[in-house]
């Protein structure tokens, strides 16, 4: 079995609103992407790590900076590639880079690919391990998830007004995180499937596990971690900063 990791960091960070790509935003010492890279320990055994960065960015230097240290520390080959307009496009670009590498290196047998959001910068290595283990146990698609603490209601909109339709039973709800894990074979099938979808439906796919649902491929769930929160808004950035400060004590 060969293992590869794709870190998608090509988003613009609109909701964070710093005016620079989110992965380049400073979090304590270093960028968000740098922190995401620090979770990748040599023990995880990735032969290849693909960093998917914004296509045209004046922050390319900051964003590509962690690559050398990452290669040194993990012994993995680190490759940089350009992302696309939507997250799915960036994951596709990363997945294609893995495919190309696998061909060039003559990899045979299964390839396990983890797809991780740079924005989940503080995800601990144990979450990566759990996803890899589920793939080793034979899963084709895996997602880490945590229980939902809020009461979630489905609403219906009528113009600008909203009303509650129903309450979803919380015990069956999970908030999913990354890294999600897939066989390379599944990812190839998944992207071939997306090509066939109307653009509107394709744009609703916010993760690759959703494609698995479309394809009736079972998605295994493993425990995530509260520190794997996605830094989306300023509040999340403040939380991440506090977690880092706590870890440094
Ligand atoms: N991502 C990406 N390419 C895109 C969009 C998102 O690689 N075209 C990545 C982001 O860099 C991030 C992860 O996917 O690591 C999750 O996306 P999100 O949190 O939505 O990040 P952004 O798209 O950058 O933020 P926003 O939606 O607020 O603009
Ligand atoms: Mg986004």
| Any atom of ligand 1 within 6 Å of the Cβ of 85 | yes
Q: Which domains does the chain have, with CATH numbers?
A: 2-248 (3.90.550.10)
Which ligand 1 atom lies nearest to the CA of residue 23? 11
| Any atom of ligand 1 within 6 Å of the Cβ of 20 | no
pLDDT tens string 19-69: 999 999 999 999 999 999 999 999 999 999 999 999 987 899 999 999 999
Query: How far is 183 from 139, CA to CA, in rounded Å?
Result: 8
| Any atom of ligand 1 within 6 Å of the Cβ of 22 | yes
Which residues are registered as beta bridge partners of 8? 52, 117
Residues of the chain with pLDDT under 50: none
Say which ligand is closest to the CA of 14.
1
Q: What are phi and psi of 232, to 5 degrees?
A: -115, -45
Query: How far is 105 from 126, CA to CA, in rounded Å?
Result: 28
Q: How far is the CA of 87 from the centre of ligand 1 (A)?
A: 6
pLDDT at 201: 86
**Looking at the predicted complex, does its ipTM rise above 0.85?**
yes
**Is 119 exposed, middle or buried (CB count within 10 Å of its CB: 0-12, 13-18, 19+)?**
buried
| Any atom of ligand 1 within 6 Å of the Cβ of 119 | yes
pLDDT at 139: 98
| Any atom of ligand 1 within 6 Å of the Cβ of 12 | yes
- Please give the model's pTM, rounded to 2 decimal places: 0.97
Choosing from 20, 32, 119 the residue with most ligand 1 atoms within 8 A of its CB, the one to mutate for a pocket test is 119
| Any atom of ligand 1 within 6 Å of the Cβ of 13 | yes
């Amino acid at each position: 079995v060969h293992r590869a990791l794709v870190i998608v960091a090509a988003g613009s960070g609109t909701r964070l609103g710093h005016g620079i790509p989110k992965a380049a935003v400073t979090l304590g010492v270093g960028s968000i992407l740098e922190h995401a890279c620090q979770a990748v320990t040599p023990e995880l055994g990735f032969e290849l790590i693909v960093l998917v960065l914004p296509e045209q960015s004046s922050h390319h230097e900051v964003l590509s900076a962690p690559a050398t240290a990452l290669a040194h520390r993990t012994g993995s080959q680190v490759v940089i590639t350009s992302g696309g307009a939507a997250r799915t496009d960036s994951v596709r670009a990363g997945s294609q880079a893995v495919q190309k590498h696998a061909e060039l290196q003559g990899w045979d047998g299964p390839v396990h690919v983890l797809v991780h959001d740079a924005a989940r910068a503080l995800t601990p290595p144990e979450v990566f391990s759990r996803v890899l283990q589920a793939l080793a146990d034979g899963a084709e698609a895996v997602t880490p998830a945590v229980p939902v603490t809020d009461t979630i209601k489905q609403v219906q909109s009528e113009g600008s007004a909203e009303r509650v339709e129903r309450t979803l039973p919380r015990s069956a709800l999970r908030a999913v995180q990354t890294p999600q894990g897939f066989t390379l074979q599944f990812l190839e099938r998944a992207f071939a499937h997306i090509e066939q979808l109307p653009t509107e439906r394709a744009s609703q796919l916010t993760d690759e596990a959703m494609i698995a649902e479309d394809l009736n491929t079972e998605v295994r769930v493993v425990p995530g971690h509260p520190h794997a929160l996605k830094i989306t808004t300023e509040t999340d950035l403040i939380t991440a900063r506090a977690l880092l400060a706590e870890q440094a004590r």
